[in-house]
Amino acid sequence: MMSNIPYIAGTMRWGTWGANFSTAQYCKAIQHCLEQGITCFDGADIYGHYTTEAAFGKALAEMGLERDKYQIISKAGILLPNAAPYFAQLKHYNTSKAHLISAVQRSLQDLQTDYLDIFLVHRPSPLMHLQEVAEALTYLLQNGLVKKVGVSNFSFEQVELLSSYLPLDCHQFECSLWRPQAFTNGVLHQCQQKNIQAMVWGPLGGGVLGQENQEQLSKAIAQMALKYKVSAAQIAYLFIQSHPISMQIVTGTTQLERITEAANTTAYTLAESDWFTLYEAAMGQEVP
């Protein structure tokens, strides 16, 4: 069972692409998330240049947790240059059936588990063959390698087309005060209409919070933080969390107290006029 809390712990920065956790630190972070009610962990084969899933899996194995007490998301379809196991010549995408299936099998091996709770096609390839992607996802579902399937960073039209072949469970896309396009480009409402779980990455703009050169936005965030007696990060989470279509939010932090801060945000809701104050600041202009 996926926890009711709308937060998911993103692991992209837990390995060599960020904090470079030791196994003990992975265990501590996983345990901390579970204690906060965050039971789902977001990963991808490429994180840490294909090393983070193995490090995460090692920690899970050491912890000996029951498999139904947590959920794992993984993604595949991106090939990084000069890195094992593919040693691609340049960064590119591969959404072929053979690649997606073998990438999932590799992730399962690294994670030391029998199944993924959710598998996402990481990015749409310009060479994507829709029927083949659908066949790969169907194969993964039918053979019990994954429980649910979805996509990430797809356009409205691409979701529309792929979901004519098979129902999608989840769409993970970027959305934040710094990248608010999902509120108007249709993907969010498409999730509602098709009963696809909307999942947001980069809720703090990938770390630009506090460093942004949008003065109006910084001021609006600071004012709201004072008004609601929460932190600036919590205002950024609330901006997403307050939307009536319930989105799950994938956090990116590597700091345990900041994970707690995200989990605690569930206690708040922004008034509609405050949401629009932030939106106006994010867009740099009044709504038409």
Ligand X SMILES: NC(=O)c1ccc[n+]([C@@H]2O[C@H](COP(=O)([O-])OP(=O)(O)OC[C@H]3O[C@@H](n4cnc5c(N)ncnc54)[C@H](OP(=O)(O)O)[C@@H]3O)[C@@H](O)[C@H]2O)c1
Binding site for ligand X (CB under 6 A): 10-13, 42, 122, 152-153, 172, 201-207, 209, 233, 250-255, 258
Q: Three-state SS string across 70-91, please?
A: CEEEEEECEECECCCCCCECCC
Q: Characterise 132 by phi-psi region: left (phi > 0), alpha (psi -120 to 50), beta (else).
A: alpha
159 close to 168: Cβ distance less than 8 angstroms: yes
| Residue 86 vs 178, nearer CB to ligand X | 178
Give least dist CB 288 to ligand X, A.
Answer: 28
The encoded tokens of residue 66 equal: 């029951």
Nearest approach in angstroms of CB 286 to ligand X is 26
Q: Least distance in Å: CB of 169 to ligand X?
A: 15
50 is catalytic: no
Q: Are strands 146-152 and 170-174 parallel, antiparallel or unpaired?
A: parallel
Of 6 and 202, nearer to ligand X (C-beta) is 202
Residue 11 beta carbon to ligand X: minimum distance, rounded to whole angstroms: 6
Comparing CB distances to ligand X, the nearer of 217 and 233 is: 233
Closest CB to ligand X among 37 and 210? 210
CA distance 281 to 239: 12
Where would I find the beta strands (DSSP E) of 170-224? 170-174, 197-201
- Phi, psi values for residue 265, rounded to 5°: -65, -20
Residue from 7, 26, 47, 70 carrying the catalytic annotation: 47
Cβ-in-10-Å burial (0-12, 13-18, 19+) of 168 comes to: buried
Positions marked catalytic:
47
